[in-house]
Amino acid sequence: METLILHTTRGMLNPERLSQAQAMHNAFVTEGSQPGIEIARSLGDLSHNLYAPVEGLGKLLAASPGELLFIDQWADAGGMETFFSNPFAQGAGDQLYASREEAEWIPARDAFTFHVPAIVDTSARFVGMMRAPVRATSDAVKVISERIWANLRASRRLGHLSHQLFLREAFVVEARPASNARRSGGEDTAFPVESVEVLALDFWPTLEGLTEHYSALLSTNKLDEVLAGSITVSVWEQARGFVEW
């Protein structure tokens, strides 16, 4: 069965102010004879959302002021690679970002996931991401899923709206290098590739609920047994003023 591909673009912005980044991004996706939004959609980009780091969270924030995060859902891996290989798209990214990482993620098979509707007058405004290299995919999926399930009733009381678990294996970097690249100053940069990484993606309506849940989740060492390296946690807020779809 076919599945959607999650793609993240994360990096430090070139412009000093977020408003400048908004103008540059929105011009690329809406203006010109071939607006970026139409090119991306024609190649299979189903959704595109933007997030800025939430500040002042201590160890829960492995993100810096001045960063920007794109989260896209693609229906076509080949179309995604075509888009990120396009010099027009790469040039726009180089203007927007001083440095960035492109990464694709596929849903983890057999992982526990959930999605519930937001209640009236709320939205999935905040995103929590946990990323780490793992020793064995099946063991990591099992342990993480068990932890999320065990805490589900408590996290829902705090407002938890959705949880998904994704994998990124080393072979995709070679298979789709433009979709899985690091660039700095307009040039590709080499970087070590983990054999398998996991990415947990959670959406929340409130920052308070998210931080309380993550603090409890990270307070035990039960995840250490399946990790091959340190876990990175970042918290993001939907960035206003950007064109999304």
Per-residue pLDDT tens digits for 163-205: 999 999 999 988 999 999 999 998 988 877 888 999 999 999 9
pLDDT tens per residue across span 74-114: 999 999 999 999 999 999 999 999 999 999 999 999 999 99
pLDDT tens per residue across span 114-150: 999 999 988 889 999 999 999 999 999 999 999 999 9
Q: Is the predicted pLDDT of residue 70 greater than 70, yes or no?
A: yes
How far apart CA 215 and CA 211 sit, in angstroms, is: 6
The CA-based angle 171-172-176, given to 5 degrees, is 130
**Residue 244 domain-assigned (yes or no):** no
Which residues contact residue 27 at a Cβ distance below 8 angstroms, ignoring those fewer than 6 apart? none
Burial 179-206 (b: 16+ CB within 10 A, else e): bbbebeeeeeeeeeebebbbbbbbbbbe
**Total count of domains within the chain:** 1
What pLDDT sits at residue 71?
A: 98
Cβ contact 143:225 at 8 Å:
yes
Share of the chain above pLDDT 70, in %: 97
**Residue 243 domain-assigned (yes or no):** no
pLDDT tens per residue across span 205-244: 999 999 999 888 877 667 888 988 888 899 999 999 999 9
Both structure tokens of 92: 């726009």
Please, what is the average pLDDT of the chain?
92
Look at the block and give the residue holding tokens 């091959």.
228
Q: Tell me which residue of 188, 192, 182, 184 sits closest to 13, measured CA to CA.
A: 184
**Domain of 107, in residue numbers:** 5-238
**Residue 154 domain-assigned (yes or no):** yes
**Residue 245 domain-assigned (yes or no):** no
Q: What is the CATH number of the domain that holds 170?
A: 3.30.70.100
Three-state secondary structure readout of 17-55: CHHHHHHHHHHHHHCCCCCHHHHHHHCCEEEEEEEEECC
Cβ contact 199:134 at 8 Å:
no
What pLDDT sits at residue 220?
A: 65
Give pTM, 2 decimals.
Answer: 0.94
**Residue 159 domain-assigned (yes or no):** yes
